[in-house]
Amino acid sequence: MNKEACFAPASAYARRVKEIQDALRARPNGGIDARHVLVTSDERNPEWWEEIAELGPEWGWIDHATEQTVQKHGKWYPVILDAVFQSMGVGFVGTDHSTMSQLAQKRVEDWNQGLGAE
C-alpha cells in the first residue's frame, strides 16, 4: 500500500468539518456560526491543495512557502504559527493518531470551549 492510501481524502475532512459546524450551530444560547475553515498542513503536493481550494472560498490556508516564513523567521516558525492559528478556533478536525492534532484539539476544546474531531 502506498503512503497516500493511508490519508483521508479532502472530502472526508469536509464531511467532518460540516459535522462540527452543525454541532456548533446547535449549541444552546444561539450557537456559533463558524463559516471559515483554516487548513494547516505540511502537505507539499499541489494537487492536494487544489482539492482543498475546490471545497469553496470559505476554506483557506497560510502558504508558508509563498510567505517565506522559514526564510524570514526560521525553520520552526511555520509549526509555531500553525499552532497559534489552530488555538484560536472554535472547531477542530484533525488527523487520527497525530500528536499535533491531539494537542490542537485539546487547546480548542479547553481554551475556547470548542468542539473537535479526529
Task: Locate the domains of the chain by residue range.
Answer: 3-117
Q: Does position 2 have pLDDT exceeding 70, yes or no? A: no
Q: Does position 43 have pLDDT exceeding 70, yes or no? A: yes
Nearest residue to 20 via CA among 84, 107, 97, 108: 108
> Rg of the chain over CA atoms, in angstroms?
15
Nearest residue to 38 via CA among 81, 102, 98, 96: 81
Mean pLDDT, range 20-34, rounded to an integer = 95
Mean pLDDT, range 16-31, rounded to an integer = 96
Q: How confident is the model at residue 47 (pLDDT cuts 50, 70, 90)?
A: very high
Phi, psi of 17 (to 5 degrees): -60, -45
**Per the structure block, which three cell numbers stand in for 52?**
482543498
Question: What is the reported pLDDT for 4?
Answer: 62
Question: What is the reported pLDDT for 3?
Answer: 60
Q: Does position 1 have pLDDT exceeding 80, yes or no? A: no
pLDDT tens digit sequence for 70-81: 999 999 999 999
Q: Measured between alpha carbons, how far is 46 from 50 in angstroms, rounded to an integer?
A: 6
Count other C-beta atoms under 10 Å from residue 81's C-beta.
Answer: 16
- Residue where the block lists cell 475553515: 37
Mean pLDDT, range 45-58, rounded to an integer = 96
Q: How confident is the model at residue 30 (pLDDT cuts 50, 70, 90)?
A: confident
**Per the structure block, which three cell numbers stand in for 33?**
456560526
Q: In the predicted model, what is the mean pLDDT of the chain?
A: 93
Contact present, 60 and 38 (Cβ < 8 Å): yes
**DSSP three-state, residue 93:** strand
Confirm or reject CATH 4.10.320 for domain 3-117, answering yes or no. no
Question: What is the reported pLDDT for 74?
Answer: 98
